[in-house]
Amino acid sequence: MDQRVLAAEFKPEVTYFNTASHGLLPARAAAEITEAVTGMSVGRIDQAAYYAEVDKARAAFARIAGTSTARVAAGSAVATHTGLIAASLPSGAEVLAPEGDFSSVVNPFTVRDDITLRTVPLGQLPAAVEPSTTLVALSAVQSADGRIADLPAVRAAARAAGARVLLDATQAAGWLPFSADDYDYVVCAAFKWLLCPRGVSFLVVSPEAQRERALLPLHAGWVAGASPWDDCYGPIARLAPDARAYQESVGFLPYLGAVRSLELVEELGGPEAVGAHDRALAARFRKGIAGLGRGYEPVPGDSAIVAVPGLGHAVGRLAAAGVAVSDREGNLRAAFHLYNTEEDVDRLLNLLAG
Q: Looking at residue 14, what is its pLDDT? A: 97
Domain 33-267 bears CATH identifier 3.20.20.10: no
Residue 93 has pLDDT above 80, yes or no: yes
Residue 1 has pLDDT above 80, yes or no: no
Residue bearing the bigger pLDDT, 291 or 305: 305
Report the amino acid identity of residue 341.
Answer: T
Contacts of 185 (CB under 8 A, 6+ apart): 81, 85, 164, 165, 166, 167, 203, 204, 205, 206, 209, 215
Task: Report the side by side order of strands in the sheet with 116-120.
Answer: 72-75, 201-205, 185-189, 164-168, 135-139, 94-98, 116-120
Q: pLDDT band at residue 27, thresholds of 50, 70 and 90?
A: very high
pLDDT digits (tens, 9 = 90+) for 252-297: 999 999 999 999 999 999 999 999 999 999 999 999 998 888 889 9
Q: Looking at residue 290, what is its pLDDT? A: 87
pTM exceeds cut of 0.85:
yes
Print burial letters for 266-287: b (CB count within 10 Å at least 16), e (below 16).
Answer: eebebbebbbebbbebbbbbbe
Domain 3-25+268-353 bears CATH identifier 3.90.1150.10: yes
pLDDT digits (tens, 9 = 90+) for 216-242: 999 999 999 999 999 899 999 999 999
Q: pLDDT band at residue 211, thresholds of 50, 70 and 90?
A: very high
Looking at residue 188, the DSSP 8-state letter turns out to be E
Quote the CA–CA distance of 163 and 179 in Å, as a whole number. Answer: 18
Mean pLDDT of 121-140: 98
Q: Looking at residue 106, what is its pLDDT? A: 97
Looking at residue 46, the DSSP 8-state letter turns out to be -
Reduced to 3 states (helix: H, G, I; strand: E, B; else coil), residue 294 is: coil
Mean pLDDT of 141-155: 97
Print burial letters for 83-92: b (CB count within 10 Å at least 16), e (below 16).
Answer: bbbbebbeee
Segments making up each domain of the chain, as ranges:
3-25+268-353, 33-267
